[in-house]
């Protein structure tokens, strides 16, 4: 039986990551995408280092492991976080969340194409549901005069990077704890994001509104800080089915919280797309895991 504390922690974590989608959208009203990522990732990195140091978690990185960590950081952190923020800029945040969570389906596709993993009927079903969801979202973006189909492409690219990074994490052996690996992946990515921000975007004014300061604090303290700490504190004791359910609810919470925080009004296609993604995630994350127990 899962301890009640862990269930509560998982529910809070799901809420944090779901609400983060409209929070990112709010940030882009006053700050450009790469500067937002650079600032919040830097703050989150410092928070993680301080926390794990206080808990006596070893964060040392053997020099021989640097190439592997960098290889993991590029898709997992740089690819996902940089591309997804551009997707949020171009799309309604709820829609961006739906497309972003096609990631498990990309894991299946990449695994079959490049790692000789077997395609099963349930995975075909998951892929079909995911593809149908993307078509629904693209259909509206292409149909609307102000549509931004490029936003869907940004998010699909981000989901692809996340999926590739997930597969590499399972296959690349690194002599680090999960906590240390996360800190180093973020730490190696932060300078790259700063270079991209300074090179590609104008220097922002720091004359932010109170709402923007709250958004920045949420970005580094909650998304990159507390949520990461909470995840690692409960991940090892939560069954795969429970963690799979939490992942399924993140885009749904993103869609719902966007209505409250940013005033977004989802289209009928969005609800159908969200339902299709939940079905695809269920087929990918839950059925298979039950079968392997």
User: What does the pLDDT read at residue 232?
Assistant: 80
User: What does the pLDDT read at residue 158?
Assistant: 97
How open is the CA angle 95-97-103, to the nearest 5 degrees? 120
Task: Flag residues of the chain having pLDDT under 70.
Answer: 1-2, 140-148, 235-237, 239-245, 285-293
State the Cα–Cα distance between residues 211 and 154, nearest whole angstrom: 26
User: What does the pLDDT read at residue 84?
Assistant: 98
User: What does the pLDDT read at residue 179?
Assistant: 93
Q: pTM for the full model?
A: 0.88
User: What does the pLDDT read at residue 133?
Assistant: 86
Sort 241 into a burial class: Cβ within 10 Å, 0-12 / 13-18 / 19+.
middle
Quick one: three-class SS letters along the chain?
CCCHHHHHHHHHHHHHHHHHHHHHHHHCCCCCHHHHHHHHHHHHHHHHHHHHHHCCCCCCCCHHHHHHHHHHHHHHHHHHHHHHHHHHHHCCHHHHHHHHCCHHHHHHHHHHHHCCCCCCHHHHHHHHHHHHHHHHHHHHHHHCCCCCHHHHHHHHHHHHHHHHHHHHHHHCCCCCCHHHHHHHHHHHHHHHHHHHHHHHCCCCCCCCCHHHHHHHHHHHHHHHHHHHHHHHHHHHHCCHHHHHHHHHHHHHHHHHHHHHHCCCCCCHHHHHHHHHHHHHHHHHHHHHHHHCC
State the Cα–Cα distance between residues 235 and 200, nearest whole angstrom: 37
């Amino acid at each position: 039986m899962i301890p009640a504390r862990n269930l509560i922690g998982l529910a809070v974590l799901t809420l944090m990551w779901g609400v983060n989608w409209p929070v990112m959208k709010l940030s882009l009203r006053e700050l450009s995408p790469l500067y937002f990522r650079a600032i919040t990732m830097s703050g989150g990195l410092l928070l993680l280092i301080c926390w794990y140091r206080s808990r006596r978690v070893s964060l040392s990185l053997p020099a021989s492991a640097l190439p592997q960590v960098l290889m993991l950081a590029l898709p997992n952190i740089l690819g996902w976080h940089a591309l997804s923020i551009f997707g949020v800029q171009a799309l309604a945040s709820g829609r961006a969340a739906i497309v972003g969570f096609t990631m498990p389906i990309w894991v299946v596709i990449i695994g079959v194409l490049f790692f000789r993993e077997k395609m099963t009927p349930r995975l075909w079903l998951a892929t079909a549901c995911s593809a149908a969801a993307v078509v629904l979202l693209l259909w509206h973006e292409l149909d609307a005069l102000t549509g931004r189909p490029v936003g869907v492409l940004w998010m699909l690219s981000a989901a692809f990077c996340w999926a590739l990074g997930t597969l590499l994490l399972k296959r690349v052996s690194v002599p680090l704890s999960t906590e240390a690996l996360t800190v180093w992946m973020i730490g190696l990515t932060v300078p790259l994001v700063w270079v991209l921000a300074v090179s590609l975007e104008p220097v922002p004014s720091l004359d932010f509104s109170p709402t923007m300061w709250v958004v920045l604090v949420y970005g580094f303290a909650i998304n990159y800080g507390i949520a990461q700490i909470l995840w690692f504190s409960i991940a090892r004791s939560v069954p795969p089915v429970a963690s799979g359910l939490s992942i399924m609810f993140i885009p749904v919470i993103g869609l719902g919280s966007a209505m409250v925080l940013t005033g977004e009004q989802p289209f009928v296609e969005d609800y159908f797309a969200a339902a299709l993604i939940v079905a695809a995630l269920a087929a990918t994350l839950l059925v298979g895991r039950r079968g392997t127990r």
